[in-house]
Chain A
Amino acid sequence: MTKLYTPVNLALNRVLSPSGKLNQLSFIKLTRAITIALLILSSGMVFAQTPVTGTVTDEQGLPMPGVSVKVKKTTNGTITDGNGKFALKTTTDVTLEFSYIGYIQQDVTISGKNVVNVSLKPDAKLMDEVVVIGYTTKSKSQIVSSVSTVSAKQLLDVTSNSAATLLQGKAAGVAVSSSSGQPGVTPSIRIRGTGSISSGNEPLTVVDGVIGGTANPRDIESITVLKDAAATGLYGSRAANGVIVITTKQGKSGKTSVNYSGSFGINNAAQGNFKLMDGQQLLDYSAYLYTNDYTGKRANFIKQLQAITPNPTPQQIADYLTLKNLPLTSEAYLAKSLPAVPGNTNWRDEAFRQAYTNSQNINISGGDAKTHFYIGADYYDEKGTLINTGYKNVNFRINLDHQINDRFKITTRINTGFGQKTDDRTSALYQAYTNQPWDNPYHEDGSPRYIDQESQWYGRDKSNFVFLKKYNLDNERLQNLAGDLKLDYKINSWLNFASSNRYTTTNSKREITVDKSTPGGIANQGELRNVTTYTNSVLTSNLFNAAHSFGKHNLSGIAGFEYQQNYAENIDAKGYGIVSGITVPEATATAADFTGTKGKSRYVSELFMADYNYDNRYFGTASLRNDGSSKFGINHKYGLFYSFAGGWLISNESFFKSKIITNLKLRASYGVTGNTPGSDYASIAYYSLKNQYSGIPGATPANLGNPDLTWETPTTINMGANIGLWDRIELNVDLYQRTNKDLIIDVRQAAASGYSYFTQNVGAVKNQGIDIELNTKNLTGAFQWNTNFNIGFNKNRVTKLYEGQPIDKYANQRIAIGHDMNSWYTYDWAGVDPQNGDPLWYTTKKDASGNNYTTTTNQYKDADKRFTGTSSPKFTGGMGNEFTYKNFSLNTFFNFVYGSKIYNGNRDVFDADGAYPQYNSIVLPEGWNRWEKPGDIATHPKAVLNGNKLSNKPSSRFLEDGSYLRLRNITLGYSFSEAITRKLKISNLRVYVSADNLVTFTRFSGMDPEVANLDPSTLDNPNPNTVGMSGTKYPISKKILFGVNIGF
């Protein structure tokens, strides 16, 4: 964790925020000071006294804006401006108090002086970052729950405009993974493992204190990940999977600052260990397959002939073979299917290209004592490495707050984004893996060939994406808008009321065409499909926020009410018969399809929290939330969620005096949160009207309905310690156990029930683990070296299921008691029979006395399914290193995943032992070998035309080690010295070169070992989202970018 706090970070705007906890000593003082200042300003009261001026500087002599300057024992005061200067009218013989969060307060008696210059010294004890933990803000030393923070600086290394992508590897216990390297793809996030089977596993996002929302990474001030129940408890039924709290930047009083940052660079697709055969290699391989096929067929026909004619002459054999349409020689047989001279097209080079990323951002912020503003504008354009793919986005944010008077404050925030996404509709990705090198996509004159079913083409799919790429479109337009309006009302010195309100709306339109000039468009004379989506969400959150101190007792609390409504709809419409290049619906000749859905859900919540600390040594907190949701059954609309936590800051004890251990805190928490069903209407028994027959609407039983359906209840126990050594090493360790009970499971029903599933609260999953974060300052001085390291270990076990019944997830995974939720359950590969090269699988048989024993079989259907590992990693994490020398800085960031098993699913077509002779095949990597003759000990069975006894069908054969270590980013930067920036009349100038994903260490045989987590909402889909699966993956991009940051 890096300090969020910097000397120029005033945090003033949070002072009166109800989401801020006002229990910190200096905070209260500051509050008082500002209140006074504002009172003076707003009331226009003027003390007829002499002016005192001065400058406040920090320990390095830099001016400090925003320092509270107050006349002791009065309400008279002000704050310093952007240059650290202040002016105050006062009587001549008073004492001024200079206070600033994190600094030791200084009292200066002016005794007649007109100019008072003060240098403030940091307070080591209070040099404490302020962490936004959702509804409240706390100084780090007072936090007794398990949270990880990521600062803007840590966040922005990899070039991406997705905050989730940037979080990868940055916080312990937070596993971010993506199923695709395509620009604009949203990765999935798992905090401390996967806890739910049928409901959501993605964490809740909170932006600027309000549930939901998005933020451009460059507008983000900090991200806090809330992990244990003490931190998430206040989010109740929404918090089962942890909470990601995003705080956006705010303007600061003082000089207006303008920051520009821009970067531009190139992207190339990573290839990993994946290698396909070239034309000659494939020809040699195929010739072997076809020759064996010919030899066998010929022998069999001769056998048939011999049944009629015992000793056939060569002529009789030749006549018989001709009668049966078998060529007389294997050469002639091969010529039917294989080229004489192989072509050598590299399809990967045709499908992928060198692309670019262009990221431009400018933000302007500033303000005076009453009003602060932040305006951020961002442009991001990433071309995909795969043809036709790309993503562009423009984002604006305006954050504005204004102190109306000493009691009222208004804050508005507007965040809006306009995106464009293009996708490929030519199957180039799949074909890059499978097309045969013998086929040439181009005519001799270099123009692309039109390939349809009738064309001469060796490959299976008879499709040339090089031709198609300029015709078929898939363009998506995305818009989102979120508007916040927040009113703060300061009721008295210890009580605030705040009403936060947000309206969010998103809409998108996707336009997909199949051009009539393409093989696929001829039948329907071209096709145009439009998919539009619209969502809106209204949320109001109304909180009382209290804070009071009695001597060494510090007490604070929250009481409030929230209401949220979410609505979503979409339309998917298609028309046939349209002129090439035209994309307007009214131009279609025939309306072909018209579908769409609507859904709505509501939440009502009451929440309470109390927080106590004694002398900043003993801490206790308790929270309670009562949540109602429309998704629950009529009998259980409400749920009660609570948490308790306690902490002991040992290093604040008077008996604890250690030069070595500078910080020591022990923490413990316990709490119950919740998870709502994925479906809006899972509790209602109803018939669906989405089916029709013969043009008449029909009703089909959709849902058994469960009036008792209610929330899942994850119970989390967390124990942690924060240890600081020599002020240079910071170690945070957390042990946790999260038991999700009453899991909402779509319990599969036997076919005879007439239903696919019945949604019930059954089952339990336990996640246990350790999160470790270690930040060290290895070298200080001229050459600085800092390291941030985090690692999260998690063990997942299913502990209870409906009547103990396992749940099979598509073909190869099973959820069963005592196993990890993401367990593979496949036919278990037993290798290759050395005698004949047959595939072998394990099977169970009974011996004469009826005992089971394990043996092998070459019959796929007789093989046993077994647990063969899990796609859940044993641990994940990241390590960042920062080296600084003079004006140079070098940052490296690695992320790693260990112990997952990945199913490389599409090996069943490109590593198929001959089952797909019309697809290209991989070159076996080192360590793998193919059976050729009796006695061979091989990893790969004998290659046989059209397949060797289903050897390529799903089994543990395709499970591979998914561990990897990736250099996510390396950046070398140079900051120009002040002499130069002063000359240029700017405040700072930095240039850098940055590289993403340059190196990945892995044993995985595919292009990339990174795979996505399970999406349970797709379980009942015929093509569920693949968990731990890799196939023809859109590979991740290697990027090299040049960038510049300029501050004015």
Chain B
Amino acid sequence: MITRYQTIVAIALIVSATACKKDLALEPYNGITNENVVTTLAGLQNATIGTYSFIKDENYVRNYHIFTEYASDNLSLSGTTTDPLFYAYNYQHQKNQVNVLAFWRKAYQAINGTNVVIEKVAESQDPVTNQLLGENYFLRAYLHFDLVKIFGRPYTDDNGESLGVMIKTNADAKELPARSKVKEVYALVISDLLKSVQLMNSNNTSNFASREVAIALLSRVYLYMGDYKNAFDYADQVIKSGRYALIGSANYPKYFTTPPEQNSETIFAIKHTLKDDRLDGAIGSMYWGGSIGYGEMYASESYRSLVSKFPGDLRNLFVVPQYVKNSDGSIKQDDKGNPVLQNRNGYPKYFINKYSFQDGYETLSSPVVLRLAEMYLTRAECAYQLGRPNDALADVNIIRNRAGLKDNALFSVSNMMGYTSVLDVILDERRLEFAFESQRKFDVFRNKRTLNRDYPGTHLASGQVSQEIPYTDPRVIFFIPEDDITLNPNLIQNP
């Protein structure tokens, strides 16, 4: 009897043991194995959406905004902060700045995503496949371009002879490239964009890449290279494509609260849905201190004095002064009858609303990357550089007109309104139109100008009254993250 029991138990044990062994292969609930992604069109389409999601990732989109816009003369920070955004704002870059590392890594992660698809998809006659491939070429160019702008010196400094960023065009995880020259990176960006123009055929919404998006980006790339002929042509193509229209003056103040796909002017935007609302981690949080946001970064005195020259300029409406209210809700006035501004730490509060209130949500916004107005002002700048100042002013006036400025507020050779240079007119118009849209810093430095920050803000050390950044300043660009130099010894640090 005992032996029988033992036998039964022993058999039960052996059976259960072997039965369980094959159960040791478990797959993740939230994923698909690599083979199943890269071998099907649907999988590759999912992977392409994944790359867009990397660009939307806060490590990418928010940091890109911080590095580019906070370093301009449009903004004034009203206090100190532990967030490393402070170093981008006050030009005290650190070699191990965590936000720079996060951006750098996320960019190459996204580039890897594009390379997997590019390696797996062959050009064909199939429009769906070609669109997919084209979008990946576009995204690869887009990512390299963002990187070279942040880590490589302006192309116009030395015709791209200095060190840019790593060019990564394969999905080999082991290949660790050195930094290529700025001009080599630009060459890759241009060749990828040209390929994507050939391949793309869909009329996707402005949330995704399409042919005109690539053309518009080409126009910006050439502008940053100082290749005004090409920049003009591509900007002109976009304008003449008829796909986009400047939104009317009446709707212009609501431009940034409208979802991009409903906006006729937007060429490409990084779409955020309610699920992507990052609340106090959103870009808008620093600009709008309502219910959720911090509201610490204000329009600078320097920008305000430029935009307020023309009180009728609709672009005044993107800066919202915050007034002290009486207990009945009315605005408090001082003894001279002027409204009393709120201040934070002694800095007057001028909120910026370009990154708030999409669909009514305070911190939700889809940052606009390319819009038609830029094509006009790029065309204007190129026309000027190509010796056609009247054409340039005509394009400037299209933008001013849309901003609600008429008659004497429009430029002509006979009405320069105190300006002595058409280029100054164009650059100030760009500053007005694209304020807080990550363009100003590049416009100043690619034109070899000095950024003058002679206005209150915590970029100034105690007792100081101005900060000047010449285009030759080494901190016009960021340090390569020290952490990645450890992992990839081929990398050379910026001076």
- Chain A residues closer than 8 Å to B481, beta-carbon distance: 751
Within 8 A of B (CB), among A711-770: 748-756, 758
* Residue pair A756, B50 in contact (C-beta under 8 Å): no
When A296-B463, A705-B34 are in contact, do A686 and B27 touch as well, CB less than 8 Å? yes
- Chain A residues closer than 8 Å to B50, beta-carbon distance: 687, 691, 693, 698-701
When A602-B24, A684-B28 are in contact, do A561 and B17 touch as well, CB less than 8 Å? yes
Interface residues in B, total, Cβ within 8 A: 99
Docked pose: A468 CA to B128 CA in angstroms = 54
- Chain A residues closer than 8 Å to B5, beta-carbon distance: 489, 491, 497
* Residue pair B325, A454 in contact (C-beta under 8 Å): yes
A-B contact pairs, 26 of them (CB 8 A): A524-B291, A601-B26, A602-B23, A602-B26, A632-B24, A680-B26, A685-B34, A686-B28, A686-B32, A687-B47, A693-B207, A694-B49, A694-B271, A698-B46, A700-B51, A701-B112, A701-B116, A704-B173, A750-B488, A751-B108, A751-B487, A752-B166, A754-B109, A805-B487, A808-B486, A917-B80
- Chain B residues closer than 8 Å to A602, beta-carbon distance: 20, 23-24, 26
Contact of B290 among A299, A522, A681, A946 (CB under 8 A): A522
- Chain B residues closer than 8 Å to A62, beta-carbon distance: none
Q: Let me know if B472 is at the binding interface, CB within 8 A.
A: no
Q: Let me know if B16 is at the binding interface, CB within 8 A.
A: yes
* Residue pair B95, A861 in contact (C-beta under 8 Å): yes
CB distance from A817 to the nearest CB of B (A): 14
* Residue pair B289, A453 in contact (C-beta under 8 Å): yes
Supplied contacts A296-B463, A520-B292, A700-B109, 20 more A-B pairs, CB within 8 Å: A453-B295, A454-B322, A491-B6, A519-B291, A524-B362, A561-B13, A561-B16, A604-B17, A684-B28, A694-B52, A698-B53, A699-B32, A699-B37, A699-B43, A701-B113, A704-B173, A751-B487, A752-B488, A754-B115, A861-B92
Enumerate chain A interface residues (CB-CB to B < 8 A). 289, 292-293, 295-297, 299-301, 304, 324-325, 336-337, 452-454, 460, 489, 491-492, 497, 519-524, 542, 561, 563, 590, 592-594, 597-602, 604, 606, 628-630, 632, 634, 637, 680-681, 684-705, 748-756, 758, 805-806, 808, 810-811, 860-861, 908-909, 914-918, 944-947, 950, 1022
Secondary structure of the A side of the interface? mixed
CB-nearest residue of chain B relative to A947? B80
* Residue pair A606, B34 in contact (C-beta under 8 Å): no
- Chain A residues closer than 8 Å to B113, beta-carbon distance: 700-701, 754
- Chain A residues closer than 8 Å to B53, beta-carbon distance: 691-693, 698, 700
* Residue pair A690, B30 in contact (C-beta under 8 Å): yes
Could you say which of B20, B95, B295 has the most chain A C-beta atoms within 10 Å of its C-beta? B20
Contact of A628 among B24, B98, B105, B462 (CB under 8 A): B24
Contact of B463 among A293, A599, A689, A750 (CB under 8 A): A293
When A295-B463, A751-B104, A755-B109 are in contact, do A687 and B23 touch as well, CB less than 8 Å? no
Docked pose: A152 CA to B416 CA in angstroms = 90
CB distance from A1026 to the nearest CB of B (A): 14
CB-nearest residue of chain A relative to B480? A751
- Chain B residues closer than 8 Å to A749, beta-carbon distance: 173, 487
* Residue pair B27, A805 in contact (C-beta under 8 Å): no
- Chain A residues closer than 8 Å to B346, beta-carbon distance: 336-337
Contact of B291 among A522, A684, A1022 (CB under 8 A): A522
Within 8 A of A (CB), among B89-132: 92-96, 98, 102, 104-105, 107-109, 111-113, 115-116
Contact of A680 among B16, B28, B345 (CB under 8 A): B28
When A689-B30, A755-B112 are in contact, do A699 and B177 touch as well, CB less than 8 Å? no
* Residue pair A296, B462 in contact (C-beta under 8 Å): yes
* Residue pair B47, A698 in contact (C-beta under 8 Å): yes
CB distance from B199 to the nearest CB of A (A): 20
CB distance from A632 to the nearest CB of B (A): 8
- Chain B residues closer than 8 Å to A632, beta-carbon distance: 24
What 6 pairs between A and B have smallest CB-CB spacing? A296-B463, A754-B112, A698-B49, A523-B291, A698-B50, A700-B50
* Residue pair A687, B24 in contact (C-beta under 8 Å): no
- Chain A residues closer than 8 Å to B104, beta-carbon distance: 751
CB distance from A841 to the nearest CB of B (A): 13
CB-nearest residue of chain A relative to B111? A754
Q: Let me know if B9 is at the binding interface, CB within 8 A.
A: yes
- Chain A residues closer than 8 Å to B116, beta-carbon distance: 701
**Chain B 24-46 against A: per-residue CB contact (8 Å), 1 yes, 0 no?**
11111111111001000001001
* Residue pair A753, B174 in contact (C-beta under 8 Å): yes
* Residue pair A751, B105 in contact (C-beta under 8 Å): yes
CB-nearest residue of chain A relative to B465? A300
Docked pose: A521 CA to B291 CA in angstroms = 7
* Residue pair B462, A945 in contact (C-beta under 8 Å): yes
Q: Let me know if B461 is at the binding interface, CB within 8 A.
A: yes
* Residue pair B462, A292 in contact (C-beta under 8 Å): yes
CB-nearest residue of chain B relative to A333? B346
CB distance from A537 to the nearest CB of B (A): 15
CB-nearest residue of chain A relative to B53? A691
Q: Let me know if B247 is at the binding interface, CB within 8 A.
A: no
- Chain B residues closer than 8 Å to A606, beta-carbon distance: 17
* Residue pair B21, A628 in contact (C-beta under 8 Å): yes
Within 8 A of A (CB), among B328-379: 342-346, 361-363
CB distance from B23 to the nearest CB of A (A): 6
Q: Let me know if B413 is at the binding interface, CB within 8 A.
A: no
Q: Let me know if B458 is at the binding interface, CB within 8 A.
A: yes
| Interface locus among B235-243, B273-281, B393-401, B445-453 | B273-281
* Residue pair B108, A752 in contact (C-beta under 8 Å): yes
CB-nearest residue of chain B relative to A679? B28
Docked pose: A598 CA to B26 CA in angstroms = 12
Could you say which of A336, A696, A756 has the most chain B C-beta atoms within 10 Å of its C-beta? A696
* Residue pair A699, B49 in contact (C-beta under 8 Å): yes
When A561-B13, A630-B23, A699-B47 are in contact, do A693 and B484 touch as well, CB less than 8 Å? no
- Chain B residues closer than 8 Å to A597, beta-carbon distance: 29-30
Docked pose: A810 CA to B97 CA in angstroms = 11
CB distance from A652 to the nearest CB of B (A): 35
Contact of A604 among B20, B30, B95, B488 (CB under 8 A): B20
* Residue pair A292, B463 in contact (C-beta under 8 Å): yes
CB distance from B473 to the nearest CB of A (A): 14
- Chain A residues closer than 8 Å to B456, beta-carbon distance: 325
Docked pose: A707 CA to B109 CA in angstroms = 22
Docked pose: A46 CA to B269 CA in angstroms = 93
When A542-B13, A756-B105 are in contact, do A916 and B80 touch as well, CB less than 8 Å? yes
- Chain A residues closer than 8 Å to B108, beta-carbon distance: 751-754
Contact of A754 among B31, B173, B322, B486 (CB under 8 A): B173
- Chain B residues closer than 8 Å to A630, beta-carbon distance: 23-26
Could you say which of A686, A748, A915 has the most chain B C-beta atoms within 10 Å of its C-beta? A686
- Chain A residues closer than 8 Å to B96, beta-carbon distance: 811
- Chain B residues closer than 8 Å to A629, beta-carbon distance: 24
CB distance from A772 to the nearest CB of B (A): 41
Docked pose: A687 CA to B37 CA in angstroms = 7
- Chain A residues closer than 8 Å to B322, beta-carbon distance: 453-454
CB-nearest residue of chain B relative to A559? B13
Contact of A694 among B207, B361, B465 (CB under 8 A): B207
Q: Let me know if B420 is at the binding interface, CB within 8 A.
A: no
- Chain A residues closer than 8 Å to B17, beta-carbon distance: 561, 563, 604, 606
Docked pose: A916 CA to B343 CA in angstroms = 17
Contact of A752 among B46, B54, B175 (CB under 8 A): B175
* Residue pair B98, A491 in contact (C-beta under 8 Å): no
CB distance from B431 to the nearest CB of A (A): 22
**Chain B 258-287 against A: per-residue CB contact (8 Å), 1 yes, 0 no?**
000000000000010111010000000000
* Residue pair A337, B345 in contact (C-beta under 8 Å): yes
- Chain A residues closer than 8 Å to B486, beta-carbon distance: 805-806, 808
CB distance from A426 to the nearest CB of B (A): 15
Q: Let me know if B464 is at the binding interface, CB within 8 A.
A: yes
CB-nearest residue of chain A relative to B35? A685
Q: Let me know if B56 is at the binding interface, CB within 8 A.
A: yes
Docked pose: A751 CA to B484 CA in angstroms = 7
Docked pose: A599 CA to B26 CA in angstroms = 10
Q: Let me know if B168 is at the binding interface, CB within 8 A.
A: yes
